[in-house]
Amino acid sequence: MKPSNAVRGSLASIMRNDDGLYAGNLVPYFQAVFNNAQNLNHPYHNFRHMFHVVWLCYQACIFYKKELSPRQMRNLLLAAMFHDFDHSGMTGGDDLNVLRALRGLEKYIQTEDRAHLTDISQLIRATEYPHIVHSRSPGLSSQIIRDADLSQGFSVAWIQQVIFGLAGEWNQKPIDVLQKQLEFLEKLEYHTTWAQQFFSLEDVESKKAEIHELLDLLQLNSAVAA
């Protein structure tokens, strides 16, 4: 069962910190990303993806409000905002994309956050994919951002965002990416209690069944056209 208080906060309210959940507000950072990031219109690693991860991390902060301090929440949300800053939108080593994100964070870091730059940077580094450190080893915040980063496929617009988005970035056919999404879900493992409840096994099985149905339709249409 999903946490009853899991879904909360518009983008604007999260940036302003209307709920007083974390330390300060993130308005200057929202302005920096919105006005300066070079990847906002990429097929997948775009504005929607970055701020979907922010929104999910915010839900996790609500869930873990007794475990995470306001400062830790702020660090987590900042890392989520910048984790794909200036992403290339191309295949290749994700380590280079992490370096772009870190450069963006360092460029726009505010005075009140400079003392926490190392901690925020470590959270961004935790999103490098494939994960270079086992997910159970990092701290809670690192596990949260990793779980959030892998969850775009459960959003309402997942076909456009994930299937066509990744197809565009990987230069592959959408139907091939759809098939790979099945393989991805087979191996998907969440490591936080929050994510395990927010994206239950039933949700994963339902998504896999939906993909199977779509693949059947696409293959049927191909057979009829032939």
How far is residue 219's CA from residue 56's CA, in Å, rounded to a whole number? 34
How far is residue 22's CA from residue 17's CA, in Å, rounded to a whole number? 7
Q: What is the pLDDT of residue 213?
A: 97
Q: Say whether 199 sits in a helix, a strand or coil.
A: coil
Q: What is the pLDDT of residue 130?
A: 78
How far is residue 5's CA from residue 21's CA, in Å, rounded to a whole number? 13
Domains, the chain, ranges and CATH?
A: 11-225 (1.10.1300.10)
How far is residue 12's CA from residue 17's CA, in Å, rounded to a whole number? 8
How far is residue 196's CA from residue 122's CA, in Å, rounded to a whole number? 23
CA torsion, ordered 216, 217, 219, 220, to nearest 10 deg: 110
What pLDDT, in 10s, does the model give residues 87-116?
999 877 788 999 999 999 999 999 999 999
Q: Could you tell me the two tokens for 195? A: 């994510």
Write down the pTM of the prediction. Answer: 0.91
Residue segments in the chain with a per-residue pLDDT below the cut of 50: 1, 4-5, 135, 224-226
Q: Could you tell me the two tokens for 115? A: 């003392």
CA angle 79–83–85, rounded 5-degree value: 120
Q: What is the pLDDT of residue 3?
A: 53
Q: What is the pLDDT of residue 221?
A: 54
Q: Could you tell me the two tokens for 203? A: 């949700």
How far is residue 124's CA from residue 30's CA, in Å, rounded to a whole number? 17
Residue with tokens 């009140």: 112
Q: What is the pLDDT of residue 135?
A: 47
Q: What is the pLDDT of residue 93?
A: 73
